[in-house]
A and B are shown apart, each in its own frame.
Chain A
């Protein structure tokens, strides 16, 4: 089967930096995605890594190490509006396969 592990909850202070980790054990791997979901809302795409290294998009960065089957989402200069659930997702095969999602990490940003 496919397995993605991420912490269930993380709490961080406004203005700080937080890292949300994701480790995966899957039958194949083509890329790691991150999605954000606010309470009562739909998941929205944040980032995608197919190759090792860091991808930066504004305050958010995503990192991938294929050899370690590991990635993380880094949120800098945390804002209250960043309080949400964050899901990692793996593309197991190229092209015609759906994503496999982790169970999500609930991030609470406190003042």
Chain B
């Protein structure tokens, strides 16, 4: 079984709709991250959490919100989706002692 899972893997939605992307991990890591990837722009940080009670904005948090429901679960919401939020979204986990971040398989989102 994958250590970091994301659901759904693909999603098509319409402008104005609220959607939620979910991330779960079995690695026991305390840190979780949401990134967005667009062609030629690399990985841009949306939100991150170092603990269940810790939520921090990243570089591009406008239009997004997150919830850390448990140590193993970190969800990303688009309250009112817009076409320029069409992108590939990755969840990642890590720890304070390790430099490695572990990425989920990604969610491909298309906003029409």
Number of interface residues of B (CB under 8 A): 21
Q: A3-62: which have CB < 8 Å to B?
A: 8, 31, 33, 35, 41-45, 48
Asked whether A63 is an interface residue with its Cβ less than 8 Å from the other chain, the reply is no
- Do the beta carbons of A99 and B104 come within 8 Å of each other? no
- Do the beta carbons of A45 and B100 come within 8 Å of each other? yes
Q: Which of A31, A42, A96, A101 contacts B99 (CB 8 A)?
A: A31
- Do the beta carbons of A44 and B103 come within 8 Å of each other? yes
Asked whether B58 is an interface residue with its Cβ less than 8 Å from the other chain, the reply is yes
Q: Which residues of A contact B (CB under 8 A)?
A: 8, 31, 33, 35, 41-45, 48, 87, 91, 95-96, 98-99, 101-104
> 11 more A-B contacts (CB under 8 A) besides A98-B48, A103-B40?
A31-B99, A43-B43, A43-B101, A43-B103, A44-B103, A45-B99, A45-B102, A96-B50, A101-B43, A102-B42, A103-B41
